[in-house]
């Protein structure tokens, strides 16, 4: 079976040559283990951080060892009491086509309730990130204005839709006209801005958010987020979810000083990782599944095919080639 490994630690933007492919035999199944075949593999911007050896909230990948991410797999054989042949499971698994793993840490997913890939997106880690980041840190109140950057991606598209469910005015920022259109027509955003074709983001945000920004859900950081500062309201909250625009930077960016903006507006900024709220994950999944089954949450995804195309799908996240959740189908 094939495995994808980390071959080099990238400097700057990762490249295909940073990934390696190896093949190996599948070991015998032991008590408590399952043999699984990967069906859908998630690629996520945060994996960029794990490719470097800088200390972070999650340990780095080791050189020449497998890359790993959220995977939906089919159980081919089981020596675990909890799973049977034919079950589908979700887990944080190495990038291998077929593998023997201990059954601990796997969660059964139901293909009759939602498409399998949805368990990596709207009903999985990125959906939970949107829901918990917005509700626990953004603390939005009905009628407020929510601005979302990276709005057409996996986290952003769910964040904006939840904002609408909670009765907010929702504005998105994304990188193509097609994405801007999709946010408004498919996901119900009140307005959206293409940051790549907009010259003056400060003014564009002001005009899309005439009452100012109460909650800023930030997926991108960098200059886009600097422009938001000029539009924040008194007692506004910024949810620092991610900063993809600077993940590939090789030098510390020159940036404006945020403190005076926060002082003047008694505004707060708070970072988080979704695992901070592990005790709220099951409640979050329940809520997301309820909205999903009621048709209130649409999910959008970009599906690539083939095990060998996982690295390219990952790289394409940094060029905005995905709409919604990027997954690879095997
Ligand atoms: P997305 O599906 O949003 O994919 C990444 C998107 O980022 C691209 O489609 C692209 O869209 C946009 N992008 C890429 N480069 C830039 C850039 N230089 N400037 C602005 N936008 C850019 O990924 P996710 O939804 O999985 O993740 C979104 C963010 O949330 C990331 O920063 C990620 O690290 C973070 N995250 C945080 C978690 C947490 O626990 N805190 C958990 C999960 C994700 P476009 O065409 O609009 O440029």
Does the beta carbon of 150 lie inside 6 Å of ligand 1?
Answer: yes
CATH 3.40.50.720: which residues of the chain? 125-275
Distance 79 CA to ligand 1 centre (A): 38
Q: Which atom of ligand 1 is nearest to the CA of 45?
A: 34
Whole-number Å distance between alpha carbons of 293 and 287: 10
Distance 83 CA to ligand 1 centre (A): 34
User: What value does the mean pLDDT take over residues 261-270?
Assistant: 98
Domain range 2-121+300-329, its CATH number among 3.90.180.10, 2.60.40.420, 3.40.50.300, 3.40.50.620: 3.90.180.10
Instruction: Kindly report, residue by residue over 276-295, the tens digit of the pLDDT.
Output: 999 999 999 999 999 999 99
* Confidence (pLDDT) at 252: 85
CATH 3.90.180.10: which residues of the chain? 2-121+300-329
Domain range 125-275, its CATH number among 3.40.50.800, 2.120.10.30, 3.40.50.720, 1.20.1250.20: 3.40.50.720
Residue nearest to atom 5 of ligand 1 (CA): 317
Give CA angle at 127 (239, 159), nearest 5°.
45
DSSP state of 155: H
Res. 246: pLDDT tops 90: yes
Do residues 42 and 124 lie in contact, with contact meaning Cβ atoms separated by under 8 Å? yes
Share of the chain above pLDDT 90, in %: 96
pTM to 2 decimal places:
0.97
Q: Which two tokens stand for residue 303?
A: 């599906």
Residue nearest to atom 3 of ligand 1 (CA): 153
Res. 119: pLDDT tops 90: yes
Q: Which atom of ligand 1 is nearest to the CA of 126?
A: 43
> Could you tell which of 13, 45, 201 is best to mutate to test the pocket of ligand 1, judged by most ligand atoms within 8 Å of the CB?
45
Does the beta carbon of 272 lie inside 6 Å of ligand 1?
Answer: yes
Whole-number Å distance between alpha carbons of 68 and 78: 22
Instruction: Kindly report, residue by residue over 185-232, the tens digit of the pLDDT.
Output: 999 999 999 999 999 999 999 999 999 999 999 999 999 999 999 999
Q: Which of 132, 130, 3, 140 is nearest to 61 (CA)?
A: 3
Mean pLDDT over the full length of the chain: 97
Residue nearest to atom 35 of ligand 1 (CA): 242
Enumerate the H helices of 232-320 as residue ranges: 259-264, 281-293, 310-317
Whole-number Å distance between alpha carbons of 172 and 41: 27
Q: How confident is the model at residue 254 (pLDDT cuts 50, 70, 90)?
A: confident
Report residue 156: phi and psi, to 5°: -60, -40
Compare 271 and 251 and report the one with higher pLDDT. Answer: 271
Instruction: Kindly report, residue by residue over 104-117, the tens digit of the pLDDT.
Output: 999 999 999 999 99
């Amino acid at each position: 079976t094939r495995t994808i490994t980390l071959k080099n630690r990238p400097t700057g933007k990762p490249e295909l040559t940073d990934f390696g492919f190896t093949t190996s035999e599948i070991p015998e199944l032991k008590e408590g283990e399952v043999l699984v075949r990967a069906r859908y593999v998630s690629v996520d911007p945060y994996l960029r951080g794990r490719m470097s050896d800088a200390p972070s909230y999650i340990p780095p990948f080791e050189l020449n060892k497998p890359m790993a991410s959220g995977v939906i797999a089919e159980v081919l054989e089981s020596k675990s009491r909890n799973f049977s042949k034919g079950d589908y499971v979700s887990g944080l698994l190495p990038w291998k086509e077929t593998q023997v793993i201990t059954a601990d840490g796997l969660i059964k997913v139901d293909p009759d309730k939602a498409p399998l890939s949805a368990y990596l997106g709207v009903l999985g880690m990125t959906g939970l990130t949107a829901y918990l980041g917005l509700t626990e840190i953004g603390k939005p109140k009905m009628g407020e204005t929510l601005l979302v950057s990276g709005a057409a991606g996996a986290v952003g598209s769910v964040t904006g839709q939840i904002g609408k469910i909670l009765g907010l005015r929702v504005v998105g920022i994304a990188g193509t006209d097609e994405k801007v259109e999709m946010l408004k027509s498919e996901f119900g955003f009140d307005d959206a801005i293409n940051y790549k074709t907009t010259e003056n983001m400060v003014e564009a945000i002001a005009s899309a958010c005439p009452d100012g920004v109460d909650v800023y859900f930030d997926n991108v950081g960098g200059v886009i987020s600097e422009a938001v500062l000029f539009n924040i309201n008194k007692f506004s909250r910024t949810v620092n979810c991610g900063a993809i625009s600077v993940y590939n930077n090789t030098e510390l960016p020159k940036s404006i000083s945020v403190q005076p903006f926060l002082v003047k507006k008694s505004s707060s900024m708070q970072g988080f990782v979704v695992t901070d709220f592990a005790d709220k994950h099951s409640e979050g999944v329940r809520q997301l599944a309820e909205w999903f089954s009621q048709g209130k949450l649409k999910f959008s995804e970009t599906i690539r095919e083939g095990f060998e195309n996982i690295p390219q799908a990952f790289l394409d996240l940094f060029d905005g080639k995905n709409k919604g959740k990027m997954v690879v189908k095997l």
